[in-house]
Structures are given as structure tokens and as C-alpha cells.
């Protein structure tokens, strides 16, 4: 740095960085713990995983001293996973990994949209004044604290036979187990599909609706954090705006679409991104289960890298799609 | 209505008292006008709809707890009776009794409490620190580093299990002999250290979300607050600890509750880093997947030969163990839920 200053004496008058620059550099100190973690182990761990995905673990013969070593195989593991490997899908049939990835991706989209709509709807309801509001709020945030994950783990460790034994006969056969299956026996899949068939909807839509109904337990339990975020967003909308809208004679419907929805749109974006991350990385996800059940570090590592890119892609897509709808209420910009 | 036109009759009763009489619309008429109209019907219908909907969803959320409570009082004999559904015929507290005594429930709970407490405090402070850095300082690379935070959230740690295990098994100081001097035969495995290190660096479970929440909160804090503090001669850190931290207590409480309970119910890290029975935790397989010997014997005695029923009983015991894991959390939640909701309500997510 000194040399530069000698050759450019004009700059010498400036005493290093300005106060604001100095201050903004302090930001690095605040995020230092995170950077230390990255440097100390996180990057190494991820790199190690990546290395596994590009190599194969071989054991050395005893004559050579035993132990294991990694043999570089390039993208062979990836090729194997994408073109040859068969994994069980949600129904337990063995299909190509890519196919499972695709179907689970589509299922995720339906789930994510449902979670966001449901959590927004419930947050709006919980924000209204009514009898038992505190109790309802307390109940709805139980899954946030207790964690649907552990309930699902407890249930799945016994494949729900208790619940099946307790509830009568006909239950929805799909999806219930993955989500903890607390709702087996509440609604019969037959009833739902009959209702929709009679209403004259196509079978594709029927499947989606039946899937959602049987997943309702899972979906409600995964909506907790989103509800919290929406609720906080709703609380931060100034009541004065609603008041003036009411004075102008706006109906509740108009108020929702013209005020609540735009004001809460940044939260919808944040929630969409969070929901994508959460549901792509949750263990109830078929692809996650398949990857975790894979044999061999290398295949696991390769599959997880592929899956990571799919997740990242999903987030970028969601972000780009949602960004257009977001309204920022900023006075200064 | 007529009574607007009819002027009220005022009569003077005593010196300081007057009596006003006017024709009031009869009660029946008033009630009719108030309740027998479309607007009121709609409102009632909406209120009922809302109530039923919320009640139904609450039922969905709470149902697993009911079924667990019910199954926890079953005795092995109950599984032989096909007509027993939710209410056991031979209720017993044996499941609780032997899980608590033979599986060392209290020891596991104490350990879990310690671990969750330590990790939650560290995560709360560290995530507040990092979040503040992202929210208030416009340094070069702010955006990129925040993207890195999001990326760390996107890679589930389950994928990194083996690498992570090896990393903490042979963590940094390995080869210096410090671990063996401390009596640690397996590096940092079977100590709280891996989870503490993860918490200290903001890389533990869902810490990305906490960093995000704190960043969002601090973005809503007006810059003028810090500026005035700088003018008064405070440095950046003094400002943070003396002014910003007290301001963000509700939000910190929320993060603490989330971190605490997510650590409490964590199964993955606990069984990876703390497999030894010395550090027994509630979510260790040694506690909640283990069948107490006495119950095993009771099941064998009462259900000799009936494999289906004894399988069910094993599951019932596991359910009870799982329920025992979450009971302390539920109790804690009952006390803290108001704080949790208050904190998030005032989080200033509107300033996004």
C-alpha cells in the first residue's frame, strides 16, 4: 500500500478510508463467526463431500497396508445415478432417480402453494378478533415448537400400526405414513374422490385433491413458521390504512386484495423461499429418503450434489416468479 | 324510524332532576332490525365457518398427542382385545414407570436440558450478531455472504453426515495429543463440543433462518438510533450491546425458544455426535428406542405367542417414550407461547 501512495501523492491527503467506509468494514467483524465456521470446517466438509461424489472408495489389500483410498472416477457416479440407478418412489415402486426427482418436485410445488395459501389464510383468521383467539394461536404454533419432525419420527418408527389398529378400516392409503399419519381414518379417500367425480372434475384434479386431503396433517404441521411470519407481517400493517379504506366504503374482499395482499407480498416471497428450502430438505421428502438410504458414500454424495442443484434451481425459479408480484412500501426509494 | 321526529317530553321532577320521555321503538322491532338482515346472517355464517375451520385444524394438530396419551396407558393385555380403541380396559402407568426408572429419563432430561440451553443461548447471541452485521453494514460482499448463508441452509446436514462426523472426530487439534490428554478417545465425539462449535459459528440446524429473522428485524430498526449513539461517543460494539440488544429482546426470546426446542427434539445430530450412553439424551436411541427390560418381560408373559400384539406393544412403548421426550417442551411452551408470539409479532417483518 505504501508504494502506491508514494507514486500517487495526491491520494496521500486522504487518510485511508472515510468514516462510513470504516464503519461498513465493521460488518465483517459482525459476520466473523460465520466466516470462521466456513473456513474452519464447513467448506472442508462440503468439499470432502464433493470429492466423494467424484471418486470411489476402495479398500487396499492387506499386502499394501490395508485401509481405504479414494480413486478418481470423474463423473461416473453422476452418470450412474442419472441413467442407471433405480430408487423407490412414493408408492414404493422402483423407478429411475430422475423420475422420482421430477414427480417429487411437482408434488412439492403443489404442497408449497398449499402451505403458503393455508398459512396466509390461517394467519389472517388468527389476526382477527374472536373468541378463543389466544387458545387457537397457542395450538397453531405447537408444531413450530414441538417440531412435526419428531412426531413423524415417533410415528414412523412403528409404521403407525398403533394408529391403524386404533382407527377403523378404510383409510387413505397414500401419503399418510410419511406425514406422521395422525389423520388416518378421519376422511376416507373414497368419499373425497366420489364427491369430486360427481362434481365432474377430471381425474387429475381428483388425484391432486385427494393427495392434499390425505396430506393435510403434514401440510398443517409444516405451516407453523410461515404462519408466524405472516402474522408478524399482518401486525405491521398500519391500521390507519384499513380505516381509511373502510371510510371509502371498501368491502372486506377489496380490502384484502388491495391492501393486505400487496402489503404482505414481501412476506409471501420470503415464505415461498423458506418453504422451498424447508420442504426440499425435510426428511419426509421421498427424494431425501431415497438419497439417505443409498448405499455407498460416493453415490450418496453425488446424488446429494444433484439434489442440491435442483433445490437451488427451484429457489431461483420461485424467487424470479414471485419477485414480479412483490410490492415494497418504501418512502425513500 | 318515527322516534326521530317525535320530540322527547321533558318533565321536571324535582329541583335538580328532570325526566325525559320519548317513544322508543319496541324491543322486538329493534332486535328485528339488528338481527334479521342479510348482513348479520353473513357475519354469523362467517364466524361459525371460521370457528369450525380453526377447530378442525386444531384437532388435526393435537390428534397425535391424544393418540399418544391414550396408547401410553395401555397394558400388553389391551392389545389382545380387538374392541379396545382409545380407552384401555386395563389402564396402567407401567410404561411411564419403567421408562423413567430403567431408561434413566431424568438423567437424559438433564443432559438434554443442558445441551439445548447451551446451544440455544449461543445460537441466539451469534445469530443476532451475524444478522446485525448483514442488516446494518453495507460492506462489499454483504450480498454474496448472505447468499452463502442461504446456501448453507439449502444443504441438509444429513447429506454431509460422514464428512461431518470425520471432521469433528479429527477436529483441528487432532495429532497434537490434546484430546488423548483430556481423555477423549474419539476426538470431539461424545462431547457437546461439535454442537457447540456449530452453534458458535451459526451453522447449526436452521441457523440460516435465525440469521434471516434477525437481519429482517434489525433492518426495521431506524439508523438514526445508531447515529445518535455514535454521536454520543459509543463505538459500534458498545452500541450493539447497550442499545440494540436490549431493543431486540422479544425477537431474541423467539429465536431462543425456537433454537431450544429444535435442539431438544433433534435426533440426527444427537445420534451422530453423542452415541455413547454416558451422554444419554432424550432423543438418543438408547433412551427412546430402547424397550425397558421389565416391560419386555411383562409383554412376553402376557402376550405369549401373539407376535402382532407384542409388536404393537413395542410401538406403544416407543410412542410413550416419544411423548416423554416432548412433555417438558409442551410444559415450557405453555409458559412461553405468549412471549414467542409477541416476539414474532413485533419483529418488523413489514420493513422487508
Chosen CATH of A101-323 out of 3.40.640.10, 1.10.390.10, 3.40.630.10, 1.10.3720.10 = 1.10.3720.10
The question of ipTM being above 0.95 is answered as: no
For residue B104, count CB atoms less than 10 angstroms from its CB and return exposed for 0-12, middle for 13-18, buried for 19 or more: middle
Measure CB to CB from residue A235 to each of B54, B156, B345 and give the nearest one: B345
DSSP character string of A104-156: HHHHHHHHHHHHHHHHHHHHHHHHS--TTHHHHHHHHTHIIIIIHHHHHHHHH
Q: CA torsion angle for B87, B91, B95, B96 (degrees, to 10)?
A: 90
Percent of chain B with pLDDT over 90: 12
Q: Tell if the CB–CB gap between B60 and A220 is shorter than 8 Å.
A: yes
Best of A20, A27, A28, A212 to substitute, by most chain B Cβ atoms within 10 angstroms, is: A27
Reduced to 3 states, what is the DSSP secondary structure of residue B21? strand
B chain contacts of residue A288, beta-carbon cutoff 8 Å: 156, 158
The owner of cell 429457489 is A315
Best of A25, A32, A45, A283 to substitute, by most chain B Cβ atoms within 10 angstroms, is: A45
Asked if pLDDT for residue B350 goes beyond 50, the answer is no
pLDDT of residue B348: 54
Q: Tell if the CB–CB gap between A142 and B312 is shorter than 8 Å.
A: no
- pLDDT tens digits, residue range B115-135? 999 999 999 999 999 999 998
pLDDT of residue B37: 83
What is the CB neighbour count within 10 angstroms for residue A186?
A: 18
C-alpha cell read off for B41: 346472517
Q: Tell if the CB–CB gap between A42 and B203 is shorter than 8 Å.
A: yes
Q: Tell if the CB–CB gap between B322 and A26 is shorter than 8 Å.
A: no
C-alpha cell read off for B300: 412376553
Q: Is B329 an 8 Å CB contact of chain A?
A: yes
For residue A124, count CB atoms less than 10 angstroms from its CB and return exposed for 0-12, middle for 13-18, buried for 19 or more: middle
pLDDT of residue A181: 39
Closest CA–CA distance from residue B17 to any residue of chain A (Å): 40
pLDDT of residue B114: 93
Q: Tell if the CB–CB gap between A150 and B283 is shorter than 8 Å.
A: yes
Q: Tell if the CB–CB gap between B337 and A138 is shorter than 8 Å.
A: yes
pLDDT of residue B11: 81
How much is the average pLDDT of B95-108?
A: 85
B chain contacts of residue A219, beta-carbon cutoff 8 Å: none
Report whether A142 contacts A253 (CB < 8 A).
Answer: no
Report whether A214 contacts A91 (CB < 8 A).
Answer: no
- pLDDT tens digits, residue range B171-226? 767 666 777 777 777 778 888 888 999 999 988 888 998 998 888 888 878 888 88
pLDDT of residue A160: 52
C-alpha cell read off for B61: 394438530
pLDDT of residue A176: 34
List B residues 242-301 in contact with A (Cβ-Cβ < 8 A). Answer: 257-258, 261-262, 265, 267, 283, 288-289
For residue A15, give every residue at least 6 positions away whose Cβ sits within 8 Å of its Cβ, in sequence order, or none: none
Q: Is A216 an 8 Å CB contact of chain B?
A: yes
- CA A120 – CA A122 distance, rounded (Å): 6
pLDDT of residue A175: 31
B chain contacts of residue A283, beta-carbon cutoff 8 Å: 158
pLDDT of residue A247: 92
Return the higher-pLDDT residue of A162 and B55: B55
What value does the mean pLDDT of chain B take?
A: 83
C-alpha cell read off for A71: 480413486
Domains and CATH numbers, chain B: 1-26 (no CATH), 104-289 (1.10.3720.10)
Q: Measure CA of the first residue to CA of the last residue in chain B; give whole Å.
A: 51
All residue ranges of chain A with pLDDT < 50 are 1-2, 4-8, 11, 158-159, 167-186, 331-333
A chain contacts of residue B54, beta-carbon cutoff 8 Å: 122, 125-126, 136
Report whether B209 contacts B255 (CB < 8 A).
Answer: no
pLDDT of residue B196: 92
- pLDDT tens digits, residue range B244-296? 888 888 888 888 988 998 899 888 888 888 888 778 888 888 887 778 888 87
pLDDT of residue B200: 92
Amino acid at each position: 500500500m505504501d508504494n502506491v501512495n508514494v507514486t500517487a501523492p495526491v491520494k496521500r491527503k486522504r487518510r485511508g478510508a472515510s468514516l462510513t467506509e470504516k464503519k461498513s468494514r465493521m460488518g465483517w467483524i459482525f459476520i466473523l463467526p460465520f466466516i470462521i465456521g466456513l473456513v474452519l470446517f464447513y467448506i472442508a466438509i462440503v468439499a470432502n463431500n464433493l470429492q466423494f461424489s467424484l471418486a470411489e472408495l476402495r479398500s487396499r489389500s492387506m499386502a499394501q497396508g490395508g485401509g481405504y483410498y479414494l480413486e478418481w472416477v470423474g463423473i461416473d457416479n453422476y452418470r450412474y445415478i442419472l441413467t442407471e440407478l433405480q430408487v423407490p418412489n412414493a408408492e414404493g415402486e422402483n423407478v429411475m432417480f430422475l423420475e422420482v426427482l421430477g414427480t417429487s418436485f411437482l408434488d412439492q410445488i403443489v404442497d408449497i402453494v398449499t402451505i403458503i395459501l393455508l398459512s396466509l389464510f390461517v394467519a389472517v383468521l388468527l389476526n382477527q378478533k374472536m373468541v378463543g383467539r389466544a387458545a387457537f394461536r397457542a395450538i397453531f404454533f405447537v408444531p413450530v415448537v414441538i417440531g412435526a419432525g419428531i412426531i413423524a419420527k415417533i410415528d414412523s418408527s412403528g409404521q403407525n400400526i398403533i394408529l391403524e389398529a386404533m382407527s377403523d378400516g378404510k383409510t387413505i392409503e397414500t401419503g399418510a405414513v410419511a406425514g406422521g399419519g395422525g389423520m388416518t381414518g378421519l376422511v376416507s379417500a373414497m368419499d373425497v374422490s366420489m364427491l369430486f367425480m360427481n362434481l365432474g372434475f377430471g381425474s387429475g384434479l381428483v388425484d391432486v385433491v385427494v393427495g392434499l386431503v390425505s396430506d393435510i396433517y403434514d401440510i398443517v404441521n409444516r405451516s407453523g413458521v410461515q404462519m408466524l411470519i405472516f402474522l408478524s407481517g399482518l401486525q405491521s400493517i398500519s391500521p390507519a390504512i384499513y380505516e381509511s379504506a373502510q371510510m371509502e366504503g371498501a368491502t372486506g374482499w377489496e380490502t384484502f386484495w388491495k391492501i393486505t395482499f400487496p402489503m404482505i407480498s414481501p412476506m409471501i416471497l420470503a415464505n415461498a423461499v423458506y418453504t422451498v428450502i424447508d420442504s426440499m430438505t425435510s426428511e419426509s421428502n421421498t427424494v431425501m429418503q431415497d438419497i439417505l438410504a443409498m448405499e455407498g458414500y460416493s453415490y450418496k454424495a453425488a446424488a446429494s450434489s444433484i439434489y442440491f442443484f435442483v433445490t437451488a434451481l427451484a429457489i431461483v425459479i420461485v424467487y424470479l416468479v414471485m419477485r414480479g408480484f412483490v410490492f415494497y412500501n418504501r418512502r425513500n426509494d | 324510524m318515527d322516534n326521530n321526529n317525535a320530540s322527547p317530553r321533558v318533565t321536571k321532577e324535582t329541583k335538580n332532576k328532570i325526566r325525559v320521555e320519548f317513544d322508543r321503538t319496541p324491543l322486538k322491532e329493534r332486535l328485528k332490525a339488528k338481527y334479521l338482515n342479510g348482513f348479520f346472517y353473513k357475519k354469523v355464517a362467517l364466524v361459525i365457518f371460521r370457528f369450525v375451520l380453526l377447530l378442525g385444524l386444531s384437532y388435526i394438530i393435537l390428534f397425535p398427542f391424544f393418540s399418544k396419551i391414550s396408547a401410553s396407558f395401555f397394558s400388553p393385555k389391551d392389545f389382545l382385545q380387538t374392541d379396545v380403541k382409545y380407552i384401555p380396559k386395563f389402564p396402567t402407568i407401567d410404561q411411564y414407570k419403567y421408562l423413567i426408572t430403567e431408561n434413566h429419563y431424568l438423567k437424559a432430561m438433564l443432559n438434554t436440558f443442558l445441551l439445548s440451553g447451551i446451544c440455544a443461548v449461543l445460537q441466539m447471541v451469534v445469530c443476532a450478531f451475524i444478522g446485525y452485521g448483514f442488516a446494518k453494514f453495507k460492506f462489499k460482499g454483504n450480498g454474496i455472504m448472505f447468499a452463502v448463508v442461504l446456501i448453507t441452509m439449502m444443504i441438509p446436514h444429513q447429506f454431509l453426515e460422514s464428512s461431518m462426523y470425520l471432521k469433528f472426530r479429527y477436529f483441528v487439534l487432532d495429532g497434537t495429543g490434546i484430546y488423548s490428554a483430556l481423555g477423549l478417545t474419539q476426538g470431539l465425539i461424545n462431547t457437546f463440543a461439535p454442537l457447540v462449535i456449530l452453534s458458535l459459528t451459526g451453522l447449526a440446524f436452521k441457523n440460516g433462518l435465525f440469521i434471516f429473522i434477525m437481519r429482517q428485524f434489525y433492518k426495521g430498526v431506524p439508523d438514526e438510533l445508531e447515529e445518535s449513539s455514535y454521536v454520543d461517543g459509543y463505538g459500534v460494539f458498545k452500541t450493539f450491546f447497550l442499545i440494540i440488544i436490549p431493543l431486540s429482546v422479544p425477537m431474541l426470546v423467539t429465536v431462543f425458544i425456537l433454537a431450544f426446542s429444535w435442539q431438544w427434539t433433534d435426533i440426527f445430530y444427537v445420534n451422530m455426535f453423542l452415541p455413547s450412553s454416558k451422554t444419554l439424551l432424550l432423543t438418543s436411541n438408547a433412551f427412546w428406542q430402547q424397550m425397558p427390560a421389565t416391560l419386555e418381560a411383562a409383554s412376553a408373559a402376557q402376550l405369549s405367542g401373539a407376535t402382532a400384539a407384542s409388536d404393537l406393544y413395542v410401538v406403544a412403548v416407543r410412542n410413550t417414550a416419544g411423548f416423554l421426550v416432548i412433555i417438558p417442551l409442551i410444559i415450557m411452551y405453555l409458559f412461553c407461547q405468549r412471549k414467542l408470539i409477541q416476539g414474532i409479532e413485533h419483529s418488523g417483518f413489514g420493513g422487508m
